[in-house]
Amino acid sequence: MNISKFFELRGRLSHKTGIIVSATGFVLLMSAWIIITALELVPRQLLPSPWRVICSFNELHFKDALVRNLGFSVYLNVMGYIEAVTISLIVGFVMGMFPLFRDLFSRYLNAARFIPMTAVTGLFIAWFGIETNMKIQFLAVGIIVYLIPVVIQRIDEIDNVYEQTAITLGAKPWQRIVSVYIPSVLSRIFDDIRILLAISWTYIIVAEMINSSSGGIGSLAFLAARQSRIDKVFAVLLVIILVGFIQDKLFEFLDRKFFPYKYLT
């Protein structure tokens, strides 16, 4: 085996080798976790053993309605994302294509990205109450302030040669938008949406801490932490990671389905 391949700048391992290396990393992490908890290098109240975490799933399922709470959180995620992506694409295209709207609003939108969402939860409660709609709006806005500037950037990144080709073929402005800008932006923005999926779970957890009685995986973790059941907190985090992984793979599948030319070599 050529060891230098492992340290090649911007190199890529083969599929088989990559799986072996990934599995090795998992074994190393689990081994470190087991050793640390077995030797009690960290108090058990702060870091439960893998076995305690696995055993806590039984209680989470039968006593804490894990599946129902997870379903509620996934529902918030999907509804918030549909709203955020729809608004971001419409507003982003209007601002990205027409300089009037870009100069009118872009500076203020960029400034909004620096507002911590946790600091404005009170506003969302005042505007939307403390039920499900508030949580969806909270998630949607948290994504919108990041996604609209990305849509504008993706429009700016489109090579002028494609638009010039469309002009040469006699395409009108609306035809250039439909045939050049929309396909190009959608193929690029799919990757950005995948990245923001991870951030969206952070906003879901924050939103679900408000009126935690309505349920959700975030409120479940919050209540477990208040009860000093760190094993259940770790179990919930593992569930979130698993769901996030599945969502990421689903987006990758859809990306390959809708934009196969991106994966041609």
Long-range contacts made by residues 71-75, C-beta under 8 angstroms, separation at least 24?
A: 72/214, 72/215, 72/216, 72/217, 73/204, 73/208, 73/216, 73/217, 73/218, 74/243
Per-residue pLDDT tens digits for 15-58:
888 888 899 999 999 999 999 998 888 888 889 999 999 999 99
Q: Which residues of 3-30 are buried (b: 16+ CB within 10 A; e: fewer)?
A: eeeeeeeeeeeeeeeeeeeeeeeeeeee
Average confidence (pLDDT) over 213-223: 83
Average confidence (pLDDT) over 203-231: 83
Report which of residues 10 and 258 the model is more confident about.
Answer: 258
pLDDT of 265 strictly over 70: no
Nearest residue to 210 via CA among 112, 144, 142, 126: 126
Give, in order, the Cα–Cα distances in Å from 176 to each of 179, 187, 246.
5, 16, 36
Residue with the two structure tokens 């506003």: 123
Nearest residue to 205 via CA among 229, 185, 225: 225
Mean pLDDT of all residues belonging to the chain: 86
Per-residue pLDDT tens digits for 86-111:
999 999 999 988 989 988 988 888 88
Average confidence (pLDDT) over 229-258: 89
pLDDT of 115 strictly over 90: no
Question: Positive or negative, the Cα torsion across 144, 83, 129, 68?
Answer: negative
Average confidence (pLDDT) over 215-225: 86
pLDDT band of residue 1 (cuts 50, 70, 90) is low
Residue with the two structure tokens 């971001």: 88
Q: What percent of the chain has pLDDT over 70?
A: 98
- Give the pLDDT score at 251: 86
Calculate the CA dihedral of residues 225, 231, 232, 238 and round it to 10 degrees: 110
> Residues 230, 48: contact at Cβ < 8 Å?
yes
Which of 24-38, 74-88, 165-179 shows the lowest mean pLDDT across its residues?
A: 165-179
Which of 77-86, 165-174, 182-191, 219-228 shows the lowest mean pLDDT across its residues?
A: 165-174
Q: What percent of the chain has pLDDT over 90?
A: 26
Average confidence (pLDDT) over 119-131: 87
pLDDT band of residue 200 (cuts 50, 70, 90) is confident
- Give the pLDDT score at 54: 93
